[in-house]
Amino acid sequence: MINCNGWRRFLFCLPLIFFLPYLFSVMELHQSLPHKPPKEKFDHLVLGPAAGQGLRDRLQCQDRKALNKDQISALPQIPNSEDTVSIVTVFTIYNTSAGEKSSKLVTVGETSYTKMERSLAILDVFINFIKVSMPQSNVVILTDPASDLSMHRNNVNVVPIAGEYSRDKLMLQRIKSYIAFLEMKLEEHSRNQEYNHHYIFTDSDISVVDDLGQIFQNYPKFHLALTFRNNKEQPLNSGFIAVRGTHDGILRAKVFLKEVLEIYSSKYMEALRMLGDQKALAWIVMSHPSFDAKRFTRPQPFMDEIRGASVLFLPCAIYNWTPPEGAGQFHGMPLDVKVVHFKGSRKRLMLESWNFYNSSPSPSIPDMLCLILMSGRTKYDF
């Protein structure tokens, strides 16, 4: 209780006399305002209107059917060279606690999954789409030697690489595993130079929906390729890195990634669990004296010399597409999209997409893309 007796104390209390009613009114107003409930995450497929309808260069859909299929490349395509492509990802299995083992099952189609089973299902769908879109390619899974991971599928190889694969350090370890893998390939390349074997390092929550081998034919002079977007804070996405399979390409990509690892370890350890690798990539590229960041605002491929490597920059809109998050207008899906990235709470959509494709009497990638597009910005339970 404030004592306002006496003229000196009265002068001190005078501002409070006028301010307290205002303070109480603000508090009452705050209490009366409706609180926004957390955004719902759905445990089933949610579809709505497809964005981008009426736009000439966007996928046109009606009732989960693509109307402009004739403008989308047919799959699979016959390779034009003896060069081969491997899609490389990092994946490990974590020990599940008793609580996680008994956690609620999730169901997609007619199949139910535990938490660990759905991670393996996502990896399986990742491989499935590669086999549909690039049947001549190989899949390489880099994993913790302690992980009990085995894949009994044609042209799928599990490669153990020692390291720290804990959840907190997985992004840092991923770069280390890429470097170790490239060092192995450099040694192999010195013994066999008959043909080139190219590599594309990706996240395991992507679907390849077109032949990525075209990159190496259409852009014959790059050493490594990155995907970019018009985002000032995070212009580069680390979920797609292509490496040309020549000795020079593998060597320069390895040196480039070693520099990324050094920057990651020295500048961005506060983002160890997430985004540190992308921040380090952006720092390496943007710190180059002659680099023009304005090119990130236009979704057109371009090349630049960065740290001694010829780097091809490919637009995420084509090679790393995902429904835009947050504010802004959603302009749909480009007709020539090649990779769909199910980032964040979109893993269910990845499984639902494969279930739709695989259960259709006449499986169609364009129709499946319509299903993905009609899901829009919906977030799911996993």
Does the pLDDT of residue 34 top 80, yes or no?
Answer: no
Strands (E), 91-182: 106-108, 111-113, 138-143, 156-160
What's the pLDDT score for residue 24? 46
pLDDT of residue 268: 85
- The pLDDT of residue 70: 76
Locate tokens 């797609």: which residue?
240
- Per-residue confidence (pLDDT) for residue 27, from 0 to 100: 46
Q: How confident is the model at residue 196 (pLDDT cuts 50, 70, 90)?
A: confident
- Average pLDDT, integer, range 24-38: 45
pLDDT of residue 148: 84
List the single range of 23-37, 71-85, 289-303 with lowest mean pLDDT.
23-37
Rg, the chain, Cα only = 25
The two three-digit tokens of residue 169, written as one number:
């350090």
Q: Please determine, for residue 245, whether its predicted confidence score (pLDDT) is greater than 50.
A: yes
The pLDDT of residue 144 is: 95
Mean pLDDT of 218-244: 94
User: 89 by DSSP, 3-state: which?
Assistant: strand
**What is the predicted pLDDT for the residue at 273?**
74
Per-residue pLDDT, 272: 74
Residue 140: pLDDT band (50, 70, 90) is: very high
pLDDT reported for residue 98 = 52
Beta carbons of 198 and 325 less than 8 angstroms apart: no
Secondary structure class of 20 (helix, strand, coil) = helix
Determine how many CB atoms are found less than 10 A away from the CB of residue 368: 25
pLDDT in tens, 334-375: 999 999 999 989 999 999 999 999 999 999 999 999 999 999
Token readout for 146 is 């302690």
Tell me what pLDDT residue 190 has.
Answer: 79
CA dist., res. 160 & res. 91, Å (int):
10
21: tokens are 């009613």
pLDDT one-digit tens code per residue, 262-314: 999 999 888 777 788 999 999 999 998 889 989 999 999 999 999 999 999 99
Q: Check if the beta carbon of residue 202 is closer than 8 Å to that of residue 316.
A: no
Structure tokens at 222: 């790059």
